């Protein structure tokens, strides 16, 4: 199977999932994001790369934070941005996803940022669009949320640049998390030697060990000497079924408190993808404490999304370039 | 290409280290209290670092600040060539507002890099003035932009590519290569 995310020359064409991205591309995105971090600290927080391009945020499922950060990222690249909350518009009138997409292409959209409750929605759109149009997956079902995974890796690299020496623990609802799998994959690809998951059995996928992680059901043992603690959001809707007794019970066993954080290394950082359930998976003292990098994650998320969009939108599509190249007049270079 | 030099034989290239000294001599009288130096990656940054040490006394006397620019986000060939960054972010750790900025680049060619650098600088603030210093002016500009301070004028064909290289011992050297097609030429 050829990789739908890369073009014939091996450049990034769509960002659909971290799985299938070679180390070279992961590093390219992370390094490019590094350059974008500084842009936000300037007087003019914009660069002209995507001037004249139209980015469509297609959100078939609500996610204010993700939509906002994609919107800011696109605007800082000087793109025109349209955010469509599709769940409340055409879909309810019966239009199919691909019809919605075709209509937006007819309006000359250049890039789609897609969020959907169904796994594979972004893949479907990527397969459908013509070659000059790019698709970014902003979360599809339980499957993948690649920019979240990338921004987490970027944050880790910022605080703990020696990825080869790290011990990282992912705590919580790994089963329903679209981020955890992407993250485990990215961290392994980039050479992190030890990744642990800490969760009750009911919140772990079967055969989770096959991802190359160490499984713990106990916070004290699992957090011992880790450099990074990545908390996952416990979705309230999971609480009702047979999976968990109650949120108080969960907090007692798996909620991250200062006491439990002491098992980790003293300089360990605490991460959370948001939105947080204070008092369920994380205690306020920890969330607001000095080891927390939860807000920097949000800031870096913009740089990562800028990097992804800038890498996607630049350059001619592969076949156009190899076909002619005559469209560049004299002195096109330099 | 816009320029039409007919000097196809490879010219004798001057020694970059000698040119650097000429550059330092020309730059020194222009330094004053409100000056700041900005090197353009990569060659311009190497040059700036050398100039900072060559002119150490004057630099510290006037407390001259410096920064670096990676103009990738401002290049005009993004739509053709895509984005190429090498994890060397722009760093302007001083107020650009009202500064007399001296941009430093290795080889001046079309002026497009300078255009990109000026656009980026203005996103940091409004400088009092911008001047351009280059080690070599190779001819062939395509914009109404020219360096004020150069150490050498070496007119070259469009098919020739002049590049500053840093050797393992830290010294700088100029390298000339021939290209079959002007289209594949690197941005200078």
Chain B residue with Cα closest to A76: B73
**pLDDT over threshold 90, residue A206:** no
Contact state of B123 with A334 under an 8 Å Cβ cutoff: no
Q: Of the listed A13, A67, A76, A115, which one is catalytic? A: A115
Q: Which of the pair, B1 or A147, is modelled with greater confidence?
A: A147
Cβ neighbour number for residue B86 with a 10 Å cutoff: 14
DSSP per residue over B102-124, as a string?
Answer: EEEEEEE-SSHHHHHHHHHHHTT
CATH 3.40.50.1370 fits A23-145+299-323, yes or no: yes
Count Cβ neighbours within 10 Å for each residue of A181-214 and write b for 16 or more, e otherwise.
bbbbbbbebbebebbbbbbbeebbbeebeebebe
* A233 is annotated as an active-site residue: no
* A115 is annotated as an active-site residue: yes
For the structural domain made of B16-75+87-156, what CATH number should be given?
3.40.50.2020
Predicted model pTM: 0.86
Are residues B38 and B68 in contact, defined by beta-carbon separation less than 8 angstroms?
A: yes
Q: Looking at the complex, report in whole angstroms how far the Cα of residue A316 sits from the nearest Cα belonging to chain B.
A: 5
- Between 3.90.580.10, 3.40.50.11930, 3.40.50.1370, 3.90.1150.10, what CATH number should domain A146-294 receive? 3.40.50.1370
Residue A51: what pLDDT?
93
Tell which phi-psi region holds residue B68, choosing left (phi > 0), alpha (psi between -120 and 50) or beta: beta
Which residues of chain B fall short of a pLDDT of 70? Answer: 1-11, 181-188
A2 Cβ contact partners less than 8 Å away, ≥ 6 residues apart? none
Residue A246: what pLDDT?
80
- Could you give the C-alpha distances from A264 to A184, A268, B53, in angstroms and in order? 19, 6, 45
Confidence of residue A64 (pLDDT cuts 50, 70, 90): confident
Nearest neighbour of A334 by CB, restricted to B78, B89, B188: B188
Mind listing the pLDDT tens digit for each residue in B96-120?
A: 999 999 999 999 999 999 999 999 9
Chain B residue with Cα closest to A35: B89
Are residues A60 and A85 in contact, defined by beta-carbon separation less than 8 angstroms?
A: no
Residue B113: what pLDDT?
96
Averaged pLDDT for residues A144-164: 95
Residue B84: what pLDDT?
82
Q: Looking at the complex, report in whole angstroms how far the Cα of residue B57 sits from the nearest Cα belonging to chain A.
A: 30
Residue A165: what pLDDT?
96
Domain with CATH 3.40.50.1370 in chain A: 23-145+299-323, 146-294
CA nearest neighbour of B48 among B5, B121, B102, B100: B102
Pairing of strands B35-40, A269-271: unpaired
Are residues A254 and A264 in contact, defined by beta-carbon separation less than 8 angstroms?
A: no
Averaged pLDDT for residues A232-237: 79
Structural domain spans, chain B = 16-75+87-156
Mind listing the pLDDT tens digit for each residue in B21-36?
A: 999 999 999 999 999 9
* ipTM here: 0.78
Residue A307: what pLDDT?
96
* A108 is annotated as an active-site residue: no
CA gap A90, A40 in Å, rounded:
35
Contact state of A37 with B83 under an 8 Å Cβ cutoff: no
CA gap B64, B60 in Å, rounded:
6
Cβ neighbour number for residue B154 with a 10 Å cutoff: 21
Q: Looking at the complex, report in whole angstroms how far the Cα of residue A43 sits from the nearest Cα belonging to chain B.
A: 5
């Amino acid at each position: 199977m050829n990789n739908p995310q890369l073009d014939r020359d091996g450049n990034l064409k769509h960002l659909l999932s971290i799985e299938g991205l070679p180390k070279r591309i992961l590093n390219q995105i992370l390094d490019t994001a590094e350059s974008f971090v500084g842009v936000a600290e300037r007087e003019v927080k914009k660069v002209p790369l995507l001037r004249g391009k139209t980015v469509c945020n297609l959100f078939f499922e609500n996610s204010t934070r993700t939509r906002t950060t994609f919107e800011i990222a696109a605007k800082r690249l000087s793109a025109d941005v349209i955010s469509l909350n599709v769940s409340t518009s055409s879909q309810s009138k019966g239009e199919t996803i691909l019809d919605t997409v075709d209509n937006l292409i007819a309006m000359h959209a250049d890039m789609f940022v897609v969020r959907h409750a169904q796994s594979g929605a972004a893949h479907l759109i990527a397969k459908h669009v013509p070659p000059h149009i790019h698709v970014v997956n902003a979360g599809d079902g339980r499957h993948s949320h690649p920019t979240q995974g990338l921004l987490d890796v970027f944050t880790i690299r910022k605080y703990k640049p020696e990825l080869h020496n790290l011990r990282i623990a992912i705590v919580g609802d790994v089963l329903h998390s679209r981020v955890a799998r992407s993250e485990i994959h990215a961290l392994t690809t980039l050479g992190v030697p030890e990744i642990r998951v800490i969760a009750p059995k009911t919140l772990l996928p079967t055969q989770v060990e096959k991802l190359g992680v160490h499984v713990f059901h106990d916070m004290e043992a699992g957090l011992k000497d880790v450099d990074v603690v990545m908390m996952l959001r416990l979705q309230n809707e999971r609480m009702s079924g047979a999976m968990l007794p109650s949120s108080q019970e969960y907090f007692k066993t798996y909620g991250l408190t200062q006491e439990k954080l002491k098992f980790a290394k003293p300089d360990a950082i605490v991460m959370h993808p948001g939105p947080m359930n204070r008092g369920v998976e994380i205690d306020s003292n920890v969330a607001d404490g000095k080891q927390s990098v939860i807000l920097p994650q949000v800031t870096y998320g913009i740089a990562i999304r800028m990097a992804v969009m800038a890498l996607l939108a630049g350059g001619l599509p592969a076949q156009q370039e190899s076909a002619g190249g005559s469209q560049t007049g004299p002195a096109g270079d330099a | 290409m816009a320029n039409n030099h007919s000097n196809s034989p490879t010219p004798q290239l001057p020694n970059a280290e000698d040119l650097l000294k000429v550059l330092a001599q020309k730059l020194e009288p222009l330094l004053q209290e409100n000056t700041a130096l900005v090197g353009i990656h990569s060659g311009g940054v190497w040059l700036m670092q050398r100039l900072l040490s060559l002119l150490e006394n004057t630099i510290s006397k006037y407390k001259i600040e410096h920064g670096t620019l990676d103009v990738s986000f401002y290049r005009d060939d993004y739509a053709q060539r895509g984005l190429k960054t090498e994890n060397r972010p722009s760093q302007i750790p001083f107020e650009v507002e009202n500064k007399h900025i001296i941009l430093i680049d290795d080889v001046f060619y079309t002026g497009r890099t300078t255009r990109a650098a000026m656009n980026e600088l203005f996103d940091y603030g409004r400088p009092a003035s911008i001047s351009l210093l280059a080690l070599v002016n190779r001819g062939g500009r395509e914009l109404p932009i020219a360096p004020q301070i150069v150490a050498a004028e070496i007119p070259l064909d469009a098919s020739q590519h002049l590049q500053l290289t840093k050797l393992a011992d830290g010294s700088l050297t100029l390298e000339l290569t021939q290209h079959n097609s002007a289209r594949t030429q690197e941005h200078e």
